[in-house]
Amino acid sequence: MFNPTKLICFLAPLSIALLMGCGKTAPEQPAKPKVAPTKATLTPGMETAKKAREAGDYRGAVRLYTYELAAEEAKPAPNWVQLTYLHNELGFALNNAGQSDKALEHYQKALAIDLKQLGSEHPDVATSYNNIGMVHRKKGEDDKALAHYQKALAIFLKQMGPEHPLVAGSYNNIGEVHREMGEDNKALAHYQKALAIYLDQLGPEHPDVATSYNNIGVVHDIKGEDDKALAHYQKALAINLKQLGPEHPRVASSYNNIGFVHHKKGEDDKAMEHHQKALAIRLKQLGPEHPSVAISYHNMASVYRTEKDLAKAKEYWEKAYAIFFKKLGPNHPKTKLVNGKLDALKE
């Protein structure tokens, strides 16, 4: 199965700010930043590219954003705000399509433009540091990831203040690196810092609070503390259900994680029930070829494999493989992982 420790990577946004965009209005508004982020104007082509990215068609998004970037660069006087947006979006699509080195190039170009136009302490510069850190983390370069996340945190602390949700987002990202480095206690400490800010600034029922509960659950999951993990995943689910509705993709992610823990505990009926709920939401909301649908197929195949139903396991891994191959390409780690599972069934 896809371990929920990796699920956060699948949900990772273009920038920390996008973690704040879901749910109802917060009961208390966080302090206003000292410096306002810049905002690009979306052309019809950029809107189409955005839809492709949101649909999980990362290779299609790469093609569309590449065209839009070339068009902007060809203008007599390219707009630097548009350029940074396009470099960031193209970097995100490339990173999710498994082309981390190319993603890094575009994120670094966005950073260079922001540094020149905005100075070294603007929130957009922090976002670029965050994005670069995200690629390094995906590449397993934890020290570089941590250094960039810490640069982002320093800017957000100065510009937003210590209680701003973007600061919490940085704590969350730093926690992820510590988690991947096997430093579970440091990870937990940073996730708890993020949770405290979210609770104070956004209220106890905000979706970002649910994200923190999920991440804390991940650490307990890693430590083999299944009951604690399950309790935190269920807290996340309860908030997401209330704030986002029963058919939101984040609800599906909560079902996925709960299913994963039940599978670990040998409770395969409960595991399958939750993975089927996740799949139903993803099919309806994201479409039949979204990579998240493939994740559900993969997880269900894993349960079938445990139950010795090899025919069903093969069927669902083949479904997952077809989606990953089409959307992410043959060399993406997820495509290779599922292909390995299919090869193992032949032995």
Domain range annotation of the chain: 245-347
CB-side exposure of 5: number of CA atoms within 13 Å? 19
**pLDDT score for 20:** 24
**pLDDT score for 28:** 39
**pLDDT score for 19:** 25
**pLDDT score for 55:** 86
Provide the sign of the torsion angle of the four alpha carbons 25, 26, 31, 35, taken in this order: negative
**pLDDT score for 26:** 31
**pLDDT score for 21:** 25
**pLDDT score for 75:** 96
**pLDDT score for 1:** 55
**pLDDT score for 309:** 96
pTM: 0.81
**pLDDT score for 38:** 72
The rounded distance, in Å, linking the Cα atoms of 276 and 238 is 18
**pLDDT score for 35:** 56
| pLDDT means over runs of 10, the chain (347 residues) | 39 25 32 61 94 90 96 96 96 92 97 96 95 94 97 97 96 96 96 97 96 96 96 97 94 96 96 98 93 96 96 97 92 93 91
The CATH code of domain 245-347 reads 1.25.40.10
The crossing angle, in degrees rounded to 10, of helices 4-11 and 207-222 is 150
**pLDDT score for 18:** 22
**pLDDT score for 347:** 78
